[in-house]
Amino acid sequence: MDFNIESKKNSTLIQVQTEKLDTHVAPALKSELVLVSGKGEKNIILDLSECEYCDSSGLSAILVANRLCKNAGGTFVLCGLNDAVERLITISQLDTVLNITESVPDAEKMIS
Amino acid sequence: MMETKIAIESDINNLSLIESKVDELIVQIGITKEEYGRILVATMEAVNNAIVHGNGGDRNKRVNICFAQQDDNFMVQVRDQGVGFNPDCVPDPTSPENIEKLRGRGVFLMKNLADEIDYNKNGNEVLMKFKIEKIGAKNLL
């Protein structure tokens, strides 16, 4: 299983459990995000602390999550960024449009 | 001077072959985790673009990849059999109207991850150069 999905009090936490968030994994993550959102969840936390690397398809999945939450009137928070992933987010300037925290508890605080 | 050449059919499933080859070369050369990340992601973006956009997923068309390393330079050349494109005409994915778009970051990431990037005149071949610091195989990843 590439993802761990956990219902929290005010949100759903999705933890990506692969080293790389790339073209092999991103489509399945997008499907999971659509399913979670489709069940009525408007606040999603995406924890990438186990991901060492990410490519443009991974960024695309992250933006899908952001769009789904935004369209539902909720909040999307990305957390647990390792160096290479954070660098890619920064290069792409997605840090200007995404909510990013260091940890899951920080993300939960942002949503509550 | 190390040089390795591979040719693949234009099938997205072949991306894993290239990923394995990058891993193998990186173990041989011995570079830092940060450099590995840059090379891997930029290479995968280039090959993905060559398969999907360059060759339009036509399995009869090939993508040729050449890896070369000399001293502190690591080079990746990717060539497809498509008509090519003009990299200067790719929309800026960081502009306000594009920043939240789901696609269109591959070429931008390649440019920003590589230390140097050049396209041939037709735009169906890209050469990316990375400055690497060799650390020896024992300190790998």
CATH number of residue A30's parent domain: 3.30.750.24
- Residue in A with minimal Cα distance to B93: A92
Residues 6+ away with beta carbon under 8 Å from A89: A54, A59, A62, A78, A81, A95, A98, A100
Diameter of chain A by CA atoms? 33
Are B45 and A88 contacting, i.e. CB atoms less than 8 angstroms apart? no
pLDDT tier at A1 (50, 70, 90 boundaries)? confident
Q: Classify A71 as helix, strand or coil.
A: helix
Residue A55 in this model has a pLDDT that exceeds 90: yes
- The alpha carbon of B120 is separated from its chain's Cα centroid by a whole number of angstroms, namely 15
For range B31-53, the mean pLDDT: 95
pLDDT at B139 over 70: no
Q: Which two tokens stand for residue B23?
A: 């891993």
A53 and B99: CB-CB below 8 Å? no
pLDDT value of residue B133: 84
pLDDT band of B29, cuts 50, 70, 90: confident
Shortest distance, CA B121 to any CA of chain A (angstroms) = 25
- pLDDT (average), residues B23-35: 89
d(CA A43, CA A22): 23
Residue B77, pLDDT > 70, answer yes
Report how far residue B49's alpha carbon sits from residue A101's, in angstroms, rounded to the nearest whole number: 32
**What total number of domains does chain A contain?**
1
How confident is the prediction for chain B on average, in pLDDT? 93
For A66, the domain range is: 3-111
> What DSSP character marks residue B138?
G
- Give the integer Cα–Cα distance in Å for B29 and B134: 7
Residue B67: CATH number of its domain: 3.30.565.10
- Is the pLDDT at B137 greater than 60? The verdict is no
C-beta atoms of B103 and A60 within 8 A: yes
The secondary structure element, H or E, covering residue A53 is strand A53-54
Cβ-defined contact of B100 to A23 (cutoff 8 Å): no
What is the pLDDT averaged over residues B23-50? 93
In whole angstroms, how far apart are CA B134 and each of A18, B4, B27? 27, 18, 11
Token code pair at residue B5: 């050449």
pLDDT value at position A68? Answer: 98
Residue (of A81, A85, A35) closest to A59 by Cα position: A85
Domain that holds residue B106: 2-139
- Residues on chain A bordering chain B, Cβ-to-Cβ distance under 8 angstroms: 22-24, 52-57, 59-60, 63-64, 66-67, 83-84, 87-88, 91-94, 96-97
Residues of chain B neighbouring A67 (CB-CB closer than 8 A): 100, 102
pTM: 0.94
User: How far, in Å, CA of A77 to CA of A66, rounded?
Assistant: 8
What is the count of structural domains for chain B? Answer: 1
Give the mean model confidence (pLDDT) for residues A85-105. 97
The Cα–Cα gap between B49 and B54 comes to 6
Q: Report the residue of chain A nearest B92, measured CA to CA.
A: A92
